[in-house]
Amino acid sequence: MTPTATPTRREQILKEAARLFAERGFHGVGVDEIGAAVGISGPGLYRHFAGKDAMLAELLVGISEQLLEGGRQRTEAADRTAPEAVLDSLIAGHIDFALDDRPLITLHDRELDRLRDADRKRVRRLQRQYVELWVEAVRRLYPEFDEPAARATVHAVFGLLNSTPHLGRPGALPGRAGMSELLHRLARGAFAAGAGAPTRG
């Protein structure tokens, strides 16, 4: 989730719910525990959310909306005459998400099927639109990619970048800047390899 200077109570609740759901599973966490994590009573949460299902839906739909909107903004802000800048900006934005919002990656993997049909379909639709931003950027930089291969490679790179929850204890990894740089090199290398282009050192 995108941090703000002063998180609202609603944002605090969502952040703690994401952390607890990711650590212990959706059914392993009670409303009282989420409330305690933000310093309010469990019943007090109902002033902000109808229940845990509503929190989960807002978390998963919300991050899908943020990724798509952020991707659009980065694409528009990057120099459209320089395809490399567009792709690098998309990669950098997704790396920020992968490093800063790891619980949401875990939640998506484990709990997406718990959403109502309408919410799950919305998430999938937003994700498809996000993928297509990347496919366009990849094919502009690597015209040799046909569309199916570009799309498959984008999904593979997402798998790489979204592996951050499984990379071990934070102390066992490079610092944030080092990890960000490493993931960026790996992503660019994957795209170059998929296109059959020489990789850069």
- pLDDT of res. 200: 53
Give the per-residue pLDDT at 42.
75
As a whole number, mean pLDDT of residues 136-146 equals: 95
Task: Tell how far CA 182 is from the center of its chain.
Answer: 18
Ranked by mean pLDDT, the top range of 4-18, 28-42, 117-131 is 117-131
Pick the more confident residue, 140 or 42.
140
At 59-81, the pLDDT tens digits run 999 999 999 999 999 999 987 78
**For the whole prediction, is pTM greater than 0.85?**
yes
Per-residue pLDDT at 165:
87
Give the C-alpha distances (Å, rounded to integers) separating 164 from 50, 98, 192, 195.
31, 6, 22, 25
